């Protein structure tokens, strides 16, 4: 799992689309009053708070201390914990598990899936969305190319994001004992905020890629990658990211 220090305020201010798009996923979860629901990788807690509005009893956890501090401050009535999705534990199993835009940060899906299975009641449902195969591929390629050009390619970490296909992730879920009910892989071209939208996105989500570089070297890579992306990703004055999503509903 990449070592990421989150700026939780910037995450909400500039990348609020993460939670906004996640709202659509709540339709798949269809929370019911009185249900116990766990939000895996809850970030700043915005979607957990929406799940609570259905009358469900929601709990959230995230690996990031910064995210959980912000979630607790914003929604003090919801229990939020700092836990690792590869090894998390709760005393009672939940009726449903939910996760949006979190699981692609973890390169050990088997461990996460085993924990999620254990945390569900028999018959309980799992509803997840994450980056799918090919997600932000052009952005990754531009960063890679910029690193090559500058002669720093060997400094690019190997523990990138995890963007599986339907076949791969559904198989892992089935091997763990889940029954996969619905799976979708779809394009979600995503408009980024502001005239520096691409630079801001790369620094926010890809900052860990430059941990072996000096800050001024990282700036050069971000600027060059942005330049390479401009013809295809800056359209009508707006930056776009080539998101692809994997959305799955499965039952224990």
Q: Which is nearer to ligand BEZ, 15 or 252 (CB)?
A: 15
Q: Which is nearer to ligand BEZ, 94 or 205 (CB)?
A: 205
User: What's the min distance (Å) between Cβ of 121 and ligand BEZ?
Assistant: 28
User: What's the min distance (Å) between Cβ of 218 and ligand BEZ?
Assistant: 16
From 11, 178, 210, 243, residue interacting with ligand BEZ (rule: CB under 6 A): 243
User: What's the min distance (Å) between Cβ of 136 and ligand BEZ?
Assistant: 5
Q: Which is nearer to ligand BEZ, 50 or 135 (CB)?
A: 135
Using an 8 Å Cβ cutoff, are 202 and 143 in contact?
Answer: yes
User: What's the min distance (Å) between Cβ of 80 and ligand BEZ?
Assistant: 20
Q: Is 52 in the site for ligand BEZ (CB under 6 A)?
A: no
From 46, 83, 135, 226, residue interacting with ligand BEZ (rule: CB under 6 A): 135
From 37, 112, 136, 228, residue interacting with ligand BEZ (rule: CB under 6 A): 136
Planar angle of CA 34, 36, 38, nearest 5 degrees? 145
Pick out residues in 7-46 that bind ligand BEZ (CB under 6 A). none
User: What's the min distance (Å) between Cβ of 18 and ligand BEZ?
Assistant: 6
Q: Which is nearer to ligand BEZ, 94 or 201 (CB)?
A: 201
In this structure, the dihedral spanned by the alpha carbons of residues 233, 235, 237 and 240, taken in order and rounded to 10 degrees, is -40
Q: Is 6 in the site for ligand BEZ (CB under 6 A)?
A: no
User: What's the min distance (Å) between Cβ of 170 and ligand BEZ?
Assistant: 19
Pick out residues in 94-113 that bind ligand BEZ (CB under 6 A). 101, 104
Exposed / middle / buried, residue 136 (Cβ in 10 Å: 0-12, 13-18, 19+): buried
Number of other CB atoms surrounding residue 235 within 10 Å? 12
**Cα–Cα distance for residue pair 39/245, rounded to 1 Å:** 18
User: What's the min distance (Å) between Cβ of 40 and ligand BEZ?
Assistant: 14
Largest distance between two CA atoms of the chain: 57
Which residues make Cβ contacts (< 8 Å) with residue 30, sequence separation at least 6?
none
Q: Is 161 in the site for ligand BEZ (CB under 6 A)?
A: yes
Using an 8 Å Cβ cutoff, are 227 and 101 in contact?
Answer: no
| Chain residues that interact with ligand BEZ, rule: CB under 6 A | 101, 104, 131, 135-136, 161, 205, 243
């Amino acid at each position: 799992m990449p070592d990421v220090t989150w700026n939780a305020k910037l995450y909400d201010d500039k990348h609020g689309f993460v939670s906004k798009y996640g709202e659509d996923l709540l339709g798949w979860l269809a929370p019911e009053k009185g249900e116990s629901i766990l939000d895996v990788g809850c970030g700043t807690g915005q979607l957990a708070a929406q799940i609570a509005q259905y009358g469900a009893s929601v709990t959230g956890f995230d690996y990031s201390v910064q995210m959980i501090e912000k979630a607790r401050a914003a929604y003090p009535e919801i229990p939020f914990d700092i836990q690792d999705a590869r090894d998390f534990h709760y005393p009672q199993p939940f009726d449903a598990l939910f996760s949006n835009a979190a699981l692609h940060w973890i390169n050990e899906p088997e461990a996460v899936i085993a924990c999620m299975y254990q945390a569900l009641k028999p018959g309980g449902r799992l509803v997840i969305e994450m980056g799918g195969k090919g997600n932000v591929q052009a952005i990754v390629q531009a960063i890679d190319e910029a690193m090559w050009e500058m002669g720093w390619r060997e400094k690019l970490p190997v523990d990138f994001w995890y963007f599986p296909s339907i076949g791969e992730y559904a198989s892992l879920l089935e091997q763990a004992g889940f029954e996969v009910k619905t799976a979708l892989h779809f394009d979600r071209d995503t408009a980024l905020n502001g005239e520096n939208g691409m630079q801001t996105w790369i620094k926010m989500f890809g900052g860990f890629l430059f941990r072996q570089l000096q800050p001024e070297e990282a700036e050069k890579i971000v600027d060059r990658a942005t330049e390479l992306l401009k013809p295809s990703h800056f359209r009508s004055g707006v930056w776009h990211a080539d998101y692809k999503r994997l959305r799955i509903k499965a039952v224990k």
